[in-house]
Amino acid sequence: MSDNPDPRQNHLLDALPPAERERLLPHLELVAMPLGQAVSESGMHMRHVYFPTTCIISLLYVMEDGSSAEIAVVGNEGIVGVSLFMGGETTTSRAVVQSAGHAYRLKGQLLKDAFLRAGPMQRLLLRYTQALLTQMSQTAVCNRHHRLDQQLCRWLLLSLDRLPSNDLTMTQELIANMLGVRREGVTEAAGDLQRAGLIRYNRGKITVLDRAGLEARVCECYQVVKTEFDRLLPAQHIL
């Protein structure tokens, strides 16, 4: 995959049959996604859907008291805005850029039209939505049963899978917001990982040094989600 922007860096767009992709191509607009930008707000109609290529979007729920929790994460394997084709138009969650980069956006109505053509696009979007369901389920399970250090490993691995390099730009404060825990808890867990030689970090830059080491520490949740994504959205789609 080249560094030049290309819609096919997004796996959903890449998996479309050429004819379908050609139809969308003129309407896809490359946009920069700066860290922290809110792509959609809870309960608000979305004008566009987003196909990330090099950015990562977090879906998070913000509580009345302001605390938050990440529900799921969307990178170049997916799309932000499933509620448009699911029929609800809005969601209770908020979508924010967790890792800066780019995405292609498409007018909501055009996506709905494509969905309603009931072809490969529809099948693809529904399978992706099921994968998203699994990710949300597993977030619920992980929040219930697993320790912070394991959740941090899961979070790092899920992010890593959606980025081209081993570097994340991400302060501990932001990670804490995503996981819905105290910043100090992240400091401690990340310190352990650093002392174990699995990661290195420095003022908002995290480098994963030993991916296998993270996989050895992570809870089963990570593998469940990854396996399900691979099953539902294989590299070569048979639509």
Partner DNA sequence: TCTGGTCTGTACGCTACTGTACAAAGGCCA
Partner DNA sequence: TGGCCTTTGTACAGTAGCGTACAGACCAGA
CB 214 within 8 A of CB 153: yes
Considering only residues 181 to 220 of the shown chain, the ones binding a second copy according to CB under 8 A are: 220
204's contact among DNA, a second copy, none, with CB below 5 to 8 A by partner kind, is DNA
Of 130, 127, 132, 150, nearest to 221 (Cα)? 150
Of 32, 29, 213, 179, nearest to 110 (Cα)? 29
148 touching DNA, by CB under 7 A = yes
From 52-60, 81-89, 144-152, 219-227, span contacting DNA (CB under 7 A):
144-152
Strands (E), 45-100: 48-52, 56-62, 68-74, 94-99
On the CB side of 113, CA atoms within 13 Å amount to: 9
The nearer residue to DNA, 173 or 230, going by C-beta atoms, is: 173
191 touching DNA, by CB under 7 A = yes
Cα(116)–Cα(120) distance, integer angstroms: 11
Cα(97)–Cα(61) distance, integer angstroms: 14
Interface with a second copy (CB under 8 A), residue from 133, 183, 194, 215: 133
5 touching a second copy, by CB under 8 A = no
Tokens of 33: 């996604």
The nearer residue to DNA, 80 or 214, going by C-beta atoms, is: 214
From 13-21, 103-111, 200-208, 228-236, span contacting a second copy (CB under 8 A):
228-236
Q: What angle do CA 139, 62, 162 make, to 5 degrees?
A: 45
CB of 222 to DNA, least distance (A): 16
138's contact among DNA, a second copy, none, with CB below 5 to 8 A by partner kind, is a second copy
230 touching DNA, by CB under 7 A = no
Tokens of 67: 């605390």
The nearer residue to DNA, 17 or 185, going by C-beta atoms, is: 185
Place of tokens 């509620």: 83
Interface with a second copy (CB under 8 A), residue from 40, 91, 98, 172: 91
190 touching DNA, by CB under 7 A = yes
Q: Which residues bind DNA (CB under 7 A)?
A: 147-149, 171-173, 180-185, 187-188, 190-191, 194, 201-204
